[in-house]
């Protein structure tokens, strides 16, 4: 039986889950939820997230929410059919995966989010003018963070070490939107970050997901 993902393709959290399903070739059904409609919170509750957010993920009787917990579930369940993205059998490697998953969630996404909101959400969905001061401050924050990434990626091919992991994959949605803004150079001007990003984006699963993120 196919699993079900409730959430629209342009939602970063939904795209994060779908990218992981695509990596393992898991069959899924997607039910879009219109985030612009006022009822989206009630819909998400109805589908199984008591906090009213997408995505909601359904596998048989199991209803899951929180995108990074869902990608952990998919990677753990399907690791026999694809890459071992969590490295749970190795204490040190799994810890490095966890550290860079936390960095993605608490540092990079937090810094990139206001840029995406101002440049993509405000003009396209809200019909307003971006606040350029917020954008510029956020770009500075992202640059400082990516300096650390550049140093890290000059020592190892991927974030957690010389192996592709969930820490890398979870970065796809926010960085994909960032690269479509006039500030793509924060990525492309840092040679190791650029090479890492191109490696990530070129994967067939990531190509498919980002093609659907374009509205």
Of how many residues is the chain composed?
Answer: 215
Residue 163 corresponds to which tokens in the numbers above? 């192996």
* Residue 77 binds a second copy, judged by CB under 8 A: yes
- Among 37, 99, 124, 125, the residue binding a second copy under the rule CB under 8 A is 99
Assess contact for 104 and 166: CB atoms under 8 A.
no
* Of 44 and 210, CB closest to a second copy: 44
* Residue 50 binds a second copy, judged by CB under 8 A: yes
Residues in contact with a second copy, shown as a per-residue x/- string from 6 to 25 under the rule CB under 8 A: --------------------
Assess contact for 65 and 53: CB atoms under 8 A.
yes
3-class SS string, 44-88: HHHHCCCCCCCCEEEECCEEEECHHHHHHHHHHHHHHHCCCCCCC
Assess contact for 46 and 21: CB atoms under 8 A.
no
**List of E strands, the chain:** 3-6, 28-31, 56-59, 62-65
* Residue 103 binds a second copy, judged by CB under 8 A: yes
- Among 17, 85, 101, 142, the residue binding a second copy under the rule CB under 8 A is 101
Stretch that binds a second copy, among 14-22, 104-112, 169-177, 196-204 (CB under 8 A): 104-112
In whole angstroms, the minimum distance from the beta carbon of 124 to a second copy comes to: 25
Instruction: Tell which positions 105-144 bind a second copy, by CB under 8 A.
Output: 105-107
Under the rule (CB under 8 A), what is the footprint of a second copy? 50-51, 62, 64-66, 68-69, 72-73, 76-77, 88, 91-92, 94-95, 98-99, 101-103, 105-107, 145, 148, 151-152
């Amino acid at each position: 039986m196919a699993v079900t993902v409730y959430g629209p393709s342009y939602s970063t959290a939904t795209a994060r889950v779908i990218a992981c399903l695509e990596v393992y070739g898991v069959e899924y059904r997607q039910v879009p939820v219109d985030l612009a409609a006022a009822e989206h919170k009630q819909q998400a509750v109805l589908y199984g997230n008591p906090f009213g957010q997408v995505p909601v993920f359904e596998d048989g009787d199991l209803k899951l929410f929180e995108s990074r917990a869902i990608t952990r579930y998919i990677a753990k369940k399907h690791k026999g059919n694809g890459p071992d993205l969590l490295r749970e059998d190795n204490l040190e490697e799994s810890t490095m995966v966890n550290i860079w998953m936390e960095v993605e969630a608490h540092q990079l996404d937090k810094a990139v989010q206001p840029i995406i909101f101002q440049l993509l959400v405000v003009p396209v969905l809200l019909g307003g003018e971006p606040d350029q001061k917020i954008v510029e401050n956020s770009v500075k924050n992202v640059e400082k963070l990516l300096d650390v990434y550049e140093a890290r990626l000059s020592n190892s091919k991927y974030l957690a070490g010389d192996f592709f992991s969930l820490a890398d994959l979870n970065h796809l949605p926010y960085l994909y939107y960032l690269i479509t803004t006039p500030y793509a150079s924060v990525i492309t001007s840092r040679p190791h970050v650029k090479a890492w990003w191109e490696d990530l984006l070129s994967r067939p699963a990531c190509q498919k997901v980002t093609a659907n993120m374009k509205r």
